[in-house]
Structure 1
Amino acid sequence: MEASMQIEIAKRIPLAQILAKMNLYPTKQTEKECWYLSPFRSEKTASFHVHNYKNLWFDFGEAKGGDTISLVQALLKQLGQDDSVSAALKWLDNTIDGKIDYLPPVIQEQAEQSPVLTLKSVSPIKNIALKHYAEQRRIPLTVAEKFLKQVSFVNENTGKTIFALGLQNEDEGYELRNSFFKGCIGQKNISFIRGSDNKPPKGINVFEGMFDYLSVIAQRNGKLLKSDTIILNSLNCMKLVMPYVKSYGYTFGYSWLDNDLAGKKATPQLIDIFKQENIAFCPMNCLYKPYKDVNAAHMAKLEL
């Protein structure tokens, strides 16, 4: 069988079927999604998410995810074994033994609804679970309280009220995060944070996510950066950067994008924006390699 064909078949194996082979079963599930205790570490609260329709996984504790092959690769790597694609395919072939319980998700995918979120309240952070989540990301509560709010909202599809940490964006929406949820209420936009320099600052920082920025602030014992900061909240918001740097006189642009394929693909776009305004491009990636992002490096540093 051709390798490309073998890969496509492997990607169609339900993640639930693979996890069951390792005696892992969901602690919570719906037609759309399942939550598992992570296969990568010992934990009491499930943080390993599987999207049933898309057949994709994401581990919120490790901040990584992917398809069936990437899951097996990660498991093999943890065991100290060959974690190449070919090794993963061989493992799947031996483990599943050709018995694939799979239904194409096309019809189900069409029926899937995006959650409709309705804002209930915005307040200082009081929820114990949210405080614990900030601690898990190694963000001191004093830092979290300075930039984030406790946001409660209702998922109109399920009727459930959810609490999350929220960072306000420039459209007065909120970027939302908790242990099991990542999303936005209101219009998606960047977040702009003025630096501590009273004079027009010479630099502008561009971070990909809120916890990357908060990690740097935590490392500075809560002190603001002198330069201004843009938190993209999504790489799709890169196009919104220009109005915030145009004709402002910034000399240096500090890039804090992720060390992954998406971050690498987005970097030329940011370089082009800076180039148009004669801003010197200063990538900061070397400070948090080999980790995926600033927060992952920050967490690893504190756990050593």
Structure 2
Amino acid sequence: MNFSSNKITLNQAKEIDLVIYLSNLGFEPSKIRNNDYWYLSPLRNEKEASFKINRRLNRWYDHGLGKGGNLIDFGILYFNCTISELLKNLSGNFSFQQPKIQYQEYTIVQEQKIKILTETALTSPSLLHYLEYRSIPIEIAQKYCVEIRYTLNEKNYFGIGFKNDLGGFEIRTPYFKTSSSPKGITTISNCNNEVIVFEGFMDFLSFRAMTKNLPESSQDFVILNSISFFERARPFMENYDSIRLYFDRDETGLNYTSRALSLSTKYCDKSQLYQNYKDLNDWAMSFGKAEKSHLDQKQKH
């Protein structure tokens, strides 16, 4: 399926993998049985998973609500919007706010079977437009990321790929995010005394954009690719004299920051820079939009 155009059709939206789409919204399955993926419902609070996606059919059903359907049916309920508003959202207008509901972390008992087909330079217009939306300079993204084409459930996709130390990829598109196996951390070592740590690679790219005038060799980095890899990364991080943390400002990120600070004086919390935002990239996006608005106003006068 080709999503190279900026506008997504109704039929294309229905074909988007629901499991990947829910992952993009922050929901992961609590259990997987063959083609059935079970979740704590994204549409309401519950303690036992009763929201099911049948991945073969690409359909969902919420047993508590007695409702189900395709991605369009889900999106209308989740965002409380019209079909046209949802299609705009899927086409790159990411203005919807997620409901403020707290969800626990889930254990995935089966990995998605993604097969990487090719790795090339980032050139697809839809991916470049997405990076622009995220306030990531193209030249920065092209230095650290590739464009990958991959198969999932016998369907072909493409996306932005960020490689980890084990050879797997974090994968992003304007529509969803996922990862290929093996999943792990990404380290960039230049033999400095200080290391800078991020949860995800979008924050890392934002930081590189902010510090693009500094020599790359002057900084060492760890990108966890999942906050749950914090413990796995500790042996590498704690070899440094100083560890600067740029974790998310959500409950999980703040909890891990507090834990790190309790472990050693080497750790330093740098998230105050974007204390009123979700993460570093969210802050950078807000700054970029304000700057663009200012330039637009100047051009009008």
Q: Does the TM-score normalized on the shorter chain lie above 0.5?
A: yes
Q: Do residues 138 (structure 1) and 135 (structure 2) align?
A: yes
**1:205 corresponds to:** 196
Distance 1:287 1:12, change over 3 A: closer
Is the contact between residue 60 and residue 179 of structure 1 (CA under 8 Å) also seen in structure 2?
A: no
Cα distance in 2 between the residues matched to 1:242 and 1:221: 27
Distance 1:114 1:188, change over 3 A: closer
Could you say what secondary structure the match of 2:261 adopts?
helix
Could you say what secondary structure the match of 1:300 adopts?
helix
Distance 1:281 1:62, change over 3 A: farther
The correspondence of residues 290-301 of structure 1 with structure 2, limited to 5 A, is 290-301=276-287
Alpha-carbon shift at residue 163 of structure 1 (Å): 0.7
Alpha-carbon shift at residue 303 of structure 1 (Å): 0.7
Cα distance in 1 between the residues matched to 2:96 and 2:282: 8
Question: For each residue in 1:83-125, what CA deviation from the matched residue of structure 2 results, as whole angstroms up to 9, or x when unmatched?
Answer: xxxxxxxxxxxxxxxxxxxxxxxxxxxxx98642111111111
Which of 223, 230, 248 is the matching residue for 1:258?
Answer: 248
**1:288 corresponds to:** 274
The residue identity in structure 1 corresponding to 2:143 is K
**1:151 corresponds to:** 148
**2:66 corresponds to:** none
The residue identity in structure 1 corresponding to 2:207 is V
The residue identity in structure 1 corresponding to 2:211 is R
Is the contact between residue 60 and residue 180 of structure 1 (CA under 8 Å) also seen in structure 2?
A: no
Alpha-carbon shift at residue 187 of structure 1 (Å): 1.0
**2:222 corresponds to:** 230
**2:37 corresponds to:** none
Is the contact between residue 143 and residue 222 of structure 1 (CA under 8 Å) also seen in structure 2?
A: no
TM-score by length of 2: 0.63
Distance 1:262 1:66, change over 3 A: farther
Cα distance in 2 between the residues matched to 1:218 and 1:210: 12
The share of aligned pairs that are identical, in percent, is 23
- Select between 117-126 and 287-296 the one with higher mean Cα deviation: 117-126
**2:25 corresponds to:** none
The residue identity in structure 1 corresponding to 2:201 is M
User: Which stretches in structure 1 are left out of the alignment for 5+ residues?
Assistant: 1-7, 14-28, 49-58, 71-111
**1:47 corresponds to:** 90
Is the contact between residue 217 and residue 225 of structure 1 (CA under 8 Å) also seen in structure 2?
A: no
Distance 1:173 1:113, change over 3 A: closer
Could you say what secondary structure the match of 1:187 adopts?
coil
Distance 1:126 1:137, change over 3 A: same
Question: For each residue in 1:182-207, what CA deviation from the matched residue of structure 2 results, as whole angstroms up to 9, or x when unmatched?
Answer: 11111110111234xxxx31211110
Alpha-carbon shift at residue 165 of structure 1 (Å): 0.6
Cα distance in 2 between the residues matched to 1:225 and 1:263: 27
Question: For each residue in 1:59-81, what CA deviation from the matched residue of structure 2 results, as whole angstroms up to 9, or x when unmatched?
Answer: 993696347x68xxxxxxxxxxx
- Select between 236-245 and 142-151 the one with higher mean Cα deviation: 236-245
Is the contact between residue 150 and residue 158 of structure 2 (CA under 8 Å) also seen in structure 1?
A: yes
